[in-house]
Amino acid sequence: METDLFIGGKWIPSSTGDRFDVRDPATGSVIASVADGSVQDALAAVAAASDAAASWAATPARVRGEHLRRAFELMTARASTFARLISQENGKAPADAHSEVLYAAEFFRWYAEEAVRALGSVATAPSGANRILVVRQPVGVCVLVTPWNFPAAMATRKIAPALAAGCTVVLKPASDTPLTALAMAELLAEAGIPDGVVNVLPSRSSGRVVSAMLHDPRVRKVSFTGSTEVGRLLLAEAADNVVNTSMELGGNAPFLVLADADLAAAVDGAMIAKMRNGGEACTAANRFYVHRSVAGEFTEQLTARMAALRLGPGTDADTQVGPLVNEDIAAKVDGLVRDALAAGATATTGGTRPDGPGYYYPPTVLTDVAPTAAILREEIFGPVAPIVTFDTDEEAVAYANDTEYGLVAYVYTRDLTRGLRISEALEAGMIGLNRGVVSDPAAPFGGVKQSGIGREGGHEGLLDYTESKYIAVTW
């Protein structure tokens, strides 16, 4: 497969000749070496995107949509190949990798359909003197920065709406997982996307290359998915040229189980909300608040399900939980669990990191977690479920909202009115009400508070790559 930079429709080595290694998280061994994009390469990619911008924006929306539709078909047809590549570089279990590919491909299909719906409006001014005509135009050249946890889906969630809206892009994938992004560049070229419309720039100097691009006046938007910490830096960088920003940042999702919940459904939902992607998801349930009257039974059932999961390399067909992506993440998860145990928590399963090789952490359930424990405040990003009990709905909502994050929250109750009332009170951009998964290309995904700005997916995701232009007209 191609491992160079993809700029202006060509595969080229880094201007410095540097390359970096991609490792298999199951063993730590090197699986590929990839060109390491420099600042000079980043600016060449911006130039290519800028050169392609006018003609792509002028391409009929129907034609842009048909290219995206072709990308959907190609990706679906090659789902197994993409899934294997994702498992190799990210470590995730085969079922997780396969469902990521289908989810990723759906963004191409959804935005193939949405491309023709960047609607405007016309109204008569209140004075009656003129008409107010509003048209939607592409923002222009976009820099897309993606994380390693969904190497395919986080890229398509940005590329598809950007292209549908008529923008051109430079994608900077995470250094842990650049191979999926490079395979996607090949696929998009095959789908007929013209040279320069999509450029892919792996780089280990992410801070320097992204900063250089954000200071290039040809760049009009940055869409970032990753940690809140890096998001804050990019918001500051974007301020210099007043670059449009979309930020999909970290989460600390609460999972509420009320006394009247269908417990079997709540445990099923908990397994998805916690274990989709081995816990390495911004939407992962990070804290379980369970009503005291059902906490014992919920804990018992969740413990049994977590303990039964098979840990192994993502490339083995029967693996249910793969290794974490790298040593830093594995050490962080281990540290958070140790800290909670030292403060009085009990592990009903898991809780001890196995010896290497590989960055494995076992599915773990913790009870009696101290309310002040770091594990309830920080994003765990691993297969650990801390459980805290509560007595009243008000207490549960107060616990849930006691965080600077606000991406997603989950609620289980048989009483729909109560569930909707609590959903409205929760400070989150998305709520799973009797559901353990909310991600859907047709829905607006995003957070409030320090979980982000803007929405991806749905019709809103398309509008985020457009500017409205108001034309005051007399006729």
Give the active site residues: 248, 282
Which of the ranges 59-67, 149-157, 361-369, 385-393 carries the binding residues for ligand NAP, by CB under 6 A? 149-157
Nearest approach in angstroms of CB 228 to ligand NAP is: 6
Contact pick of 91, 94, 140, 147 for ligand NAP (by CB under 6 A):
147
Contact pick of 207, 296, 344, 356 for ligand NAP (by CB under 6 A):
207
> Site residues for ligand NAP, window 387-426 (CB under 6 A)?
407
Q: Which class for 262: exposed (0-12), middle (13-18), buried (19 or more C-beta within 10 A)?
A: middle
149 binds ligand NAP (CB under 6 A): yes
> Site map for ligand NAP, 14-33, x if CB under 6 A?
--------------------
Nearest approach in angstroms of CB 157 to ligand NAP is: 8
Q: How many CA atoms lie within 13 A of 370 on its CB side?
A: 12
154 binds ligand NAP (CB under 6 A): yes
Q: In sequence order, which residues have a C-beta less than 8 Å from that of residue 71 and are 6 or more positions away?
A: 105, 108, 112, 160, 187, 188, 191, 193
441 binds ligand NAP (CB under 6 A): no
Q: How many CA atoms lie within 13 A of 197 on its CB side?
A: 29
43 binds ligand NAP (CB under 6 A): no
| Smaller CB separation from ligand NAP, 181 or 191 | 181
Nearest approach in angstroms of CB 73 to ligand NAP is: 26
199 binds ligand NAP (CB under 6 A): no
Nearest approach in angstroms of CB 207 to ligand NAP is: 3
Which of the ranges 74-82, 226-234, 344-352, 413-421 carries the binding residues for ligand NAP, by CB under 6 A? 226-234
Which residue is closest to ligand NAP by CB?
Answer: 226
User: What stretches of 220-345 show up as alpha helix (H) in DSSP?
Assistant: 228-240, 263-275, 292-307, 327-342
> Site residues for ligand NAP, window 231-250 (CB under 6 A)?
233-234, 248-250
Q: φ and ψ at 38, to 5 degrees?
A: -100, 175
Comparing CA positions, the residue from 158, 186, 161 lying closest to residue 172 is 158
138 binds ligand NAP (CB under 6 A): no
Nearest approach in angstroms of CB 65 to ligand NAP is: 24
Contact pick of 163, 191, 230, 309 for ligand NAP (by CB under 6 A):
230
Start-to-end C-alpha separation, the chain: 58
Q: Which class for 128: exposed (0-12), middle (13-18), buried (19 or more C-beta within 10 A)?
A: exposed
89 binds ligand NAP (CB under 6 A): no
| Smaller CB separation from ligand NAP, 272 or 420 | 272
With tokens 């500051």, the residue in question is: 236
Tokens of 426: 């929760």
Q: In sequence order, which residues have a C-beta less than 8 Å from that of residue 424 and are 6 or more positions away?
A: none
Q: Which class for 391: exposed (0-12), middle (13-18), buried (19 or more C-beta within 10 A)?
A: exposed
> Site map for ligand NAP, 273-312, x if CB under 6 A?
---------x------------------------------
* Parallel/antiparallel/unpaired status of strands 30-35 and 121-124: unpaired
Comparing CA positions, the residue from 95, 463, 423 lying closest to residue 278 is 95
Say how many C-beta atoms besides its own lie within 10 A of residue 113's C-beta.
15
Contact pick of 25, 322, 419, 452 for ligand NAP (by CB under 6 A):
452
Which residue ranges make up the site for ligand NAP (CB under 6 A)?
145-150, 154, 172, 174-176, 204, 206-207, 210, 225-227, 230, 233-234, 248-251, 282, 379, 407, 447, 452
